[in-house]
Amino acid sequence: MVERFDVALNTPAGRLTTAIDVPTGLIPITAIVPVTRRLGEEAAQLEVQQAIAAGQSISCQMGCAACCRMLVPLSAPEAFALREYVAQLPTERRTLLLNRLSDTKDRVTRAGLWDRLNDVAEASRSVPDEELDPINRSYYALRIPCPYLENEMCSIYEARPAACRELLVTSPAELCQDLLQNPVTPLPVSMRIGSILGLIWGTLTSSPPRLIPLPMALEWAERHEKDSRRTWPGSSLLDQVLDNMWRFLSQEFTNRRGASGEGQEVPSKETDRRSRL
């Protein structure tokens, strides 16, 4: 059985209202990943609509993969979900992906970065940005295409990380060829879904929020496979998702109010159980 919830969230770009179906029983953390991503995408679409109404345009288009040379972080729930996704792929396609991941690992290892990435993934504390920045820069300097990229197209588009979904720019597309040197203008993100899922996982497991580099996500998820099988009540997981989203939105309202010097609507959240199906 599933329980339907009517959800309403005020975001800086407008009001998000939607219905969510959540199983009534115990579910693994991966079951809440698609729902959480969907809420993030609906919030992002409000940002897109606001930008277009202001006369801006989104430069990101199908086949533009300049940003697919960056080091993409995943939360633990996303890493588990990606492992499940890859496991159900046809054998030939799965083998191709695993071979590309192996090639990427070899290149990153030769550059002396693999162990540093693993230290980030297995850190017993939150890794501050000042420690992550040189690692991100060193990885980007290698210009290694994402192992999930095929002909400059994402081969796992429906399962791609939240960080990939959230990176949209309104500056000219050609500037994205060097994201470290060029002043690109990203579209504002009202709530970081990877961070939200990471915080939830940390709360559930009494561990620090983790950032798992995409090239090693499958290896990390395999090492922690036992944790991926733990379950919690579906409604409880949804409550944690919405609580963390509200906190992110509250902070984003404060940040934008400070940047513009203008008052903005106070964020609110509403959740109503509608029915059981």
Q: Domain residues of the chain, as ranges?
A: 2-276
Tell me the β-bridge partners of 153: 150
Residue whose structure tokens are 């994201």: 179
DSSP one-letter code for 266: P
CA distance 36 to 197: 8
9 membership: H or E segment, kind and range? strand 2-11
Contact 140, 111 (CB under 8 A): no
Long-range Cβ pairs for the range 133-140 (8 Å, 24+) = 135/71, 136/70, 136/71, 137/180, 138/111, 138/113, 139/70, 139/71, 139/108, 139/113, 139/213, 140/69, 140/70, 140/71, 140/179, 140/180
CA distance 212 to 230: 19
Residue whose structure tokens are 């919690």: 232
DSSP one-letter code for 186: B
pLDDT by 10s per residue, the chain, length 277: 889 999 999 999 999 999 999 998 999 999 999 999 999 999 999 999 999 999 999 998 887 888 899 999 999 999 999 999 999 999 999 999 999 999 999 999 999 999 999 999 999 888 888 999 999 999 999 999 999 999 989 999 999 999 999 999 999 988 888 888 888 999 999 999 999 999 999 999 999 888 899 999 999 999 999 999 999 999 999 999 999 999 999 999 999 887 665 545 555 556 655 444 4
